[in-house]
């Protein structure tokens, strides 16, 4: 809340780290502009993608 007050709306502020369903409302109520949720991508399975290039002369 202090950072939000200090910025006075001059810069967009983002909150990240430790964001869970149980804490997201309290974080939003601080007045930040964005909330970053890494948990969504941290638990996603990796995709193995390959690319074959063919050179024709």
Encode burial over 2-36: b for 16+ CB neighbours within 10 A, e otherwise.
Answer: eeeeeeeeeeeeebeeebeeeeeeebeeeebeeee
Q: How confident is the prediction for the chain on average, in pLDDT?
A: 86
* pLDDT confidence tier of residue 35, bands split at 50, 70 and 90: very high
Structural domain spans, the chain: 2-42
pLDDT tens sequence across 5-18 = 888 888 899 898 88
Q: pTM for the complete prediction?
A: 0.60
């Amino acid at each position: 809340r202090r950072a939000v007050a200090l910025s006075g709306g001059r810069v967009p502020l983002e909150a990240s780290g430790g964001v869970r369903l149980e804490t997201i409302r309290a974080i939003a109520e601080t007045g930040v502009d964005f909330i970053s949720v890494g948990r969504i991508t941290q638990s996603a399975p990796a995709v193995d993608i390959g690319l074959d290039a063919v050179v024709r002369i």
